[in-house]
Structure 1
Amino acid sequence: MPKIPLRPAPPPLEANDVAIVGAGTVLWFVAFLALLPFHHRLTADGHGNWQWICLSGGLLGLIGLWYCRSRRAAIQRSRAQQEAESGPAAD
Protein backbone atom coordinates (compact mmCIF):
# COMPACT_ATOMS: atom_id res chain seq x y z
CA MET A 1 0.00 0.00 0.00
CA PRO A 2 1.59 3.31 -1.08
CA LYS A 3 2.20 5.97 1.54
CA ILE A 4 0.15 9.13 1.16
CA PRO A 5 2.18 12.25 1.87
CA LEU A 6 0.90 14.22 4.85
CA ARG A 7 -0.04 17.83 4.41
CA PRO A 8 0.99 20.35 7.04
CA ALA A 9 -1.65 21.26 9.59
CA PRO A 10 -3.51 24.48 8.80
CA PRO A 11 -3.12 27.40 11.19
CA PRO A 12 -5.80 27.66 13.89
CA LEU A 13 -8.83 29.75 13.05
CA GLU A 14 -9.11 33.11 14.77
CA ALA A 15 -12.50 33.81 16.33
CA ASN A 16 -13.89 36.44 18.65
CA ASP A 17 -14.25 34.13 21.63
CA VAL A 18 -15.23 36.95 23.97
CA ALA A 19 -18.23 37.88 21.81
CA ILE A 20 -19.32 34.26 21.42
CA VAL A 21 -19.09 33.46 25.15
CA GLY A 22 -20.65 36.84 26.00
CA ALA A 23 -23.67 36.16 23.80
CA GLY A 24 -24.15 32.73 25.34
CA THR A 25 -23.87 34.18 28.83
CA VAL A 26 -26.50 36.82 28.08
CA LEU A 27 -28.83 34.15 26.70
CA TRP A 28 -28.49 32.07 29.88
CA PHE A 29 -29.35 35.08 32.06
CA VAL A 30 -32.30 36.01 29.81
CA ALA A 31 -33.60 32.44 30.07
CA PHE A 32 -33.26 32.62 33.87
CA LEU A 33 -35.25 35.85 33.99
CA ALA A 34 -37.86 34.47 31.58
CA LEU A 35 -38.43 31.41 33.78
CA LEU A 36 -38.74 33.32 37.07
CA PRO A 37 -42.46 34.13 36.70
CA PHE A 38 -43.18 30.44 36.05
CA HIS A 39 -41.35 29.08 39.12
CA HIS A 40 -44.44 27.60 40.81
CA ARG A 41 -45.74 26.05 37.60
CA LEU A 42 -42.36 24.54 36.76
CA THR A 43 -41.99 23.14 40.28
CA ALA A 44 -45.48 21.62 40.14
CA ASP A 45 -44.59 19.92 36.84
CA GLY A 46 -41.29 18.59 38.21
CA HIS A 47 -39.07 21.09 36.37
CA GLY A 48 -38.25 23.44 39.24
CA ASN A 49 -34.53 23.15 38.61
CA TRP A 50 -34.66 24.67 35.10
CA GLN A 51 -34.27 28.25 36.29
CA TRP A 52 -31.31 27.29 38.48
CA ILE A 53 -29.69 25.54 35.54
CA CYS A 54 -30.02 28.79 33.56
CA LEU A 55 -28.54 30.80 36.43
CA SER A 56 -25.64 28.34 36.68
CA GLY A 57 -25.06 28.65 32.93
CA GLY A 58 -24.93 32.44 33.24
CA LEU A 59 -22.50 32.31 36.16
CA LEU A 60 -20.27 29.81 34.39
CA GLY A 61 -20.43 32.09 31.35
CA LEU A 62 -18.97 34.90 33.48
CA ILE A 63 -16.06 32.62 34.35
CA GLY A 64 -15.74 31.83 30.63
CA LEU A 65 -15.65 35.54 29.80
CA TRP A 66 -12.86 36.10 32.31
CA TYR A 67 -10.93 33.16 30.86
CA CYS A 68 -11.37 34.29 27.24
CA ARG A 69 -10.31 37.85 28.03
CA SER A 70 -7.23 36.61 29.93
CA ARG A 71 -6.34 34.27 27.07
CA ARG A 72 -6.74 37.03 24.47
CA ALA A 73 -4.51 39.35 26.51
CA ALA A 74 -1.86 36.63 26.88
CA ILE A 75 -1.87 35.98 23.12
CA GLN A 76 -1.48 39.70 22.41
CA ARG A 77 1.42 39.95 24.89
CA SER A 78 3.09 36.94 23.29
CA ARG A 79 2.74 38.39 19.79
CA ALA A 80 4.08 41.77 20.92
CA GLN A 81 7.06 40.07 22.57
CA GLN A 82 7.78 38.02 19.43
CA GLU A 83 7.64 41.16 17.29
CA ALA A 84 9.94 43.02 19.69
CA GLU A 85 12.46 40.16 19.64
CA SER A 86 12.45 39.86 15.84
CA GLY A 87 13.17 43.56 15.40
CA PRO A 88 11.45 46.11 13.19
CA ALA A 89 9.79 44.74 10.10
CA ALA A 90 11.39 45.63 6.78
CA ASP A 91 9.11 47.71 4.55
Structure 2
Amino acid sequence: MQHEIGNRTYIVADVDPLDVDGVRTVSVGVGLWLLGFLALLPFYGRLDEAGHGWWLWTCLAGFGLGLFGLEFCRRRKRARDELRAAASDDLD
Protein backbone atom coordinates (compact mmCIF):
# COMPACT_ATOMS: atom_id res chain seq x y z
CA MET A 1 0.00 0.00 0.00
CA GLN A 2 1.29 3.46 -0.86
CA HIS A 3 0.31 6.86 0.47
CA GLU A 4 1.27 10.09 -1.22
CA ILE A 5 1.42 13.09 1.07
CA GLY A 6 2.67 16.23 -0.56
CA ASN A 7 5.65 15.38 -2.71
CA ARG A 8 6.54 12.26 -0.70
CA THR A 9 5.43 8.67 -1.18
CA TYR A 10 5.16 6.38 1.84
CA ILE A 11 5.04 2.62 1.50
CA VAL A 12 3.12 0.86 4.25
CA ALA A 13 3.65 -2.85 4.84
CA ASP A 14 0.54 -4.97 5.28
CA VAL A 15 1.53 -6.47 8.65
CA ASP A 16 -0.68 -7.23 11.64
CA PRO A 17 0.29 -5.57 14.93
CA LEU A 18 2.15 -7.81 17.36
CA ASP A 19 0.28 -7.09 20.59
CA VAL A 20 -3.17 -5.66 19.98
CA ASP A 21 -4.46 -5.89 23.55
CA GLY A 22 -1.29 -4.72 25.32
CA VAL A 23 -1.30 -7.41 28.02
CA ARG A 24 2.16 -8.73 27.16
CA THR A 25 3.64 -5.26 26.79
CA VAL A 26 2.28 -4.03 30.12
CA SER A 27 3.34 -7.29 31.82
CA VAL A 28 6.92 -6.79 30.68
CA GLY A 29 6.86 -3.18 31.89
CA VAL A 30 5.50 -4.18 35.30
CA GLY A 31 8.19 -6.83 35.59
CA LEU A 32 10.92 -4.34 34.74
CA TRP A 33 9.67 -1.84 37.34
CA LEU A 34 9.67 -4.61 39.96
CA LEU A 35 13.15 -5.69 38.91
CA GLY A 36 14.36 -2.09 39.19
CA PHE A 37 12.86 -1.80 42.68
CA LEU A 38 14.45 -5.04 43.84
CA ALA A 39 17.81 -4.10 42.32
CA LEU A 40 17.85 -0.71 44.07
CA LEU A 41 16.54 -1.93 47.42
CA PRO A 42 19.93 -3.03 48.82
CA PHE A 43 21.36 0.40 47.97
CA TYR A 44 18.62 2.45 49.61
CA GLY A 45 20.96 3.91 52.25
CA ARG A 46 23.48 5.13 49.69
CA LEU A 47 20.77 6.41 47.38
CA ASP A 48 19.14 8.33 50.21
CA GLU A 49 22.44 9.88 51.29
CA ALA A 50 23.10 11.02 47.72
CA GLY A 51 19.61 12.49 47.41
CA HIS A 52 18.42 9.79 45.01
CA GLY A 53 16.11 7.88 47.33
CA TRP A 54 13.23 8.83 45.09
CA TRP A 55 14.55 6.35 42.48
CA LEU A 56 13.43 3.46 44.65
CA TRP A 57 9.97 4.93 45.22
CA THR A 58 9.60 5.73 41.52
CA CYS A 59 10.16 2.05 40.73
CA LEU A 60 7.60 1.06 43.36
CA ALA A 61 5.07 3.55 41.98
CA GLY A 62 5.70 2.31 38.43
CA PHE A 63 5.10 -1.25 39.58
CA GLY A 64 1.89 -0.33 41.41
CA LEU A 65 0.46 1.76 38.60
CA GLY A 66 1.50 -0.94 36.15
CA LEU A 67 -0.61 -3.47 38.05
CA PHE A 68 -3.64 -1.22 37.54
CA GLY A 69 -2.78 -0.93 33.85
CA LEU A 70 -2.37 -4.69 33.58
CA GLU A 71 -5.80 -5.30 35.08
CA PHE A 72 -7.28 -2.71 32.71
CA CYS A 73 -5.71 -4.45 29.69
CA ARG A 74 -6.86 -7.87 30.87
CA ARG A 75 -10.44 -6.65 31.31
CA ARG A 76 -10.37 -4.99 27.90
CA LYS A 77 -9.06 -8.19 26.30
CA ARG A 78 -11.71 -10.27 28.04
CA ALA A 79 -14.46 -7.90 26.87
CA ARG A 80 -13.17 -7.95 23.28
CA ASP A 81 -13.01 -11.75 23.33
CA GLU A 82 -16.59 -11.93 24.61
CA LEU A 83 -17.75 -9.57 21.87
CA ARG A 84 -16.00 -11.67 19.24
CA ALA A 85 -17.56 -14.85 20.64
CA ALA A 86 -21.01 -13.24 20.64
CA ALA A 87 -20.54 -12.03 17.07
CA SER A 88 -19.42 -15.46 15.88
CA ASP A 89 -22.43 -17.05 17.65
CA ASP A 90 -24.72 -14.61 15.85
CA LEU A 91 -23.24 -15.62 12.50
CA ASP A 92 -23.82 -19.32 13.13
Query: Under TM normalisation by the shorter chain, which class is it?
Result: 0.7 to 0.9
User: Of Structure 1 and Structure 2, which has the larger fraction of its residues in strand?
Assistant: 2
Give TM-score scaled by structure 1 length.
Answer: 0.76
Give TM-score scaled by structure 2 length.
Answer: 0.75
Identity score, percent: 42
Q: What residue number does 2:67 align with? A: 62
CA distance in 1, matches of 2:18, 2:75: 16
Q: Residues 44-63 of structure 1, C-alpha deviation per residue, up to 9 Å, x if partnerless?
A: 11111110000010111111
Q: Which runs of 5+ in 1 are unaligned?
A: 5-9
Q: Where does structure 1 differ by over 6 angstroms across 4 or more consecutive aligned residues?
A: none
Aligned residues: 78
Which of 22, 29, 50 is the matching residue for 2:27?
22
Instruction: Answer 1 or 2: higher relative contact order, Cα 8 Å, separation at least 6.
Output: 1
Q: Which runs of 5+ in 2 are unaligned?
A: 5-13
CA RMSD of aligned residues (A): 1.8
